[in-house]
Amino acid sequence: MLWLGIGLAVGALVVRAVTKKARAFTPQGLAASARDSATGVLSSVRDFIDDVREGMVEREADIHAAFEAGESLDEDLYPEGQHRR
């Protein structure tokens, strides 16, 4: 009886796993997968945009500080004596 119970339990788990995988290939399952992927991409793009905005704010603060102090920001962009005008 013990082995019969174990067999039934394993069989039930296998049927549930196969059914779950089969649902993934139905039109509803594929639509859900596409929706989840699009949501993940959208989230990544939003995170990227937020990071760029933070960087822009930091750079703008650096530019304002350098302007107020009368410093040049071109020294790190151009080698000595090759400033563009």
> What are the residue ranges spanned by the domains of the chain?
42-71
Average pLDDT over residues 15-26: 86
pLDDT for the residue numbered 26: 84
Could you say which DSSP state residue 73 is in?
Answer: S
Q: What is this structure's pTM?
A: 0.52
CA atoms lying within 13 Å on the CB side of residue 12 = 6
Give residue 53's identity as a one-letter amino acid code: R
pLDDT tens digits for 38-52?
A: 999 999 999 999 999
Distance CA 72, CA 38 (A): 44
pLDDT for the residue numbered 11: 92
